[in-house]
Amino acid sequence: MRFTKMHGIGNDYVYVNCFEEQIDDPARLAVVVSNRHTGIGSDGLILIAPSEIADVKMRMFNADGSEAQMCGNGIRCVAKYTFDHEVAQAGDEFSVPGLATFERSLQVETGRGVLTLGLKIGNDGKVVQVCVNMGQPILNGMDIPVNIEMENIVDQDINVNNQVLQMTCVSMGNPHAVFFCENVENIDLEHIGPLIENHKLFPERINVHFVKIEGPNEITMRTWERGSGITLACGTGACACAVAGVLSGRCERNVLAHLPGGDLELNWCEDDNCVYMTGTATEVFSGTF
């Protein structure tokens, strides 16, 4: 099997071009290739496949083999791979309302539907930056899903191991719980992350983020990803944190998010209620497994 290792600000995945390769058991393969000691090493597996309704289809599997609907950092790499390797023909320019225009565009089918991406092309003809229309956030508790019947779950108490924390919950195609704190480095994420991920309030488990507000347009965050553990970045999570900041009155709609692996620009647009995420995508190496 031919593969390509890529990452979006440190959130790394093994990518397989399913226009050329056939994968019969992607869940099992994800577990094998993700192992950082006996496999290739990654946060999971992403398949780039033909689509009947978009330019390409993306399927994403966590390191434990569970399939997720979306991955914000992963989809930027899908766009870069698709354009750079000429898997599909890119479309015309893509504009973010009131912000920027990108030279080319792609449509990617995901578990959350078809998403549109803007591509910034470098002098070498390769993609250097990708903007993703991540769609509208899902805020109703039962739709996220969280076992709390509330329209907006904002600064809601949750008991974790006899400690009461305040969470704000958002879905960006997969569920996120956001906790604001004074210093993200002081959080014992390896201990508290799995306790929150598997809490009884979350029927499909949940992604966990601790966030420090640096200012109305700037945040710092750390992440425990459902099915993968501590990761250097989470694109859908960064979007969820930006939305949570607005809902709780802590942030404005344009936010620069600092993650351990790098930065993401986020804009929750009032015009269409969609969240736009802009960041880099990097190809590391290719090989045969």
Active site (catalytic) residues: 71, 234
Residues 6+ apart with CB under 8 A from 234: 11, 72, 73, 207, 209, 223, 225, 259
Q: Are 42 and 33 in contact (CB under 8 A)?
A: yes
Which residue type, as a one-letter code, is found at position 129?
A: Q
Q: Alpha-carbon distance 16 to 170, whole Å?
A: 30
Helix extents (H) in 85-224? 189-197
Q: 131 in the Ramachandran plot: left (φ > 0), alpha (ψ -120 to 50) or beta?
A: beta
Tokens 């979007």, located at residue: 239
- Which string of b and e fits 73-102 if b means at least 16 CB within 10 Å? bbbbbbbbbbbbeebbebeeebebeeebeb
Q: 227 in the Ramachandran plot: left (φ > 0), alpha (ψ -120 to 50) or beta?
A: left
Q: Alpha-carbon distance 168 to 246, whole Å?
A: 11
